[in-house]
Amino acid sequence: SAVISQKPSRDICQRGTSLTIQCQVDSQVTMMFWYRQQPGQSLTLIATANQGSEATYESGFVIDKFPISRPNLTFSTLTVSNMSPEDSSIYLCSVSPTGTYGYTFGSGTRLTVV
């Protein structure tokens, strides 16, 4: 299975600022997925990032708030923009190297907005 390096692991940010989260995968993957997980809650898909094209966002998530970059097949970033306390959450990236079987998750970024 793939190995994902995600950073930062945690951060405390001031409201109104932005944070960029990075995920580096040890193999080439077509799609990378970004999830949000509120403490004690389930995972909600934010967007799917394809290399060479714009990310596809799920209902309730917009590019202006969560811009995503995917410059190559092993790397992606998610930016949480103009943060408010409601953005406090765990953000995770995920990939499936085989395309459909067994998704691997990064270790997550625990974001607190104050």
Q: Within 13 A of 88's CA, how many CA atoms are on the CB side?
A: 11
Count of beta carbons in the 10 Å neighbourhood of residue 69: 14
Question: 6-45 mask for another protein (x: CB under 8 A)?
Answer: -------------------------x-x------xxxxxx
When the beta carbons of 34 and 80 are compared against another protein, the nearer one is 34
When the beta carbons of 1 and 17 are compared against another protein, the nearer one is 1
Q: Where does residue 64 fall: left (phi above 0), alpha (psi -120 to 50 degrees), or beta otherwise?
A: alpha
Q: Which residues bind another protein (CB under 8 A)?
A: 1, 31, 33, 40-45, 48, 59, 92, 96, 99-108
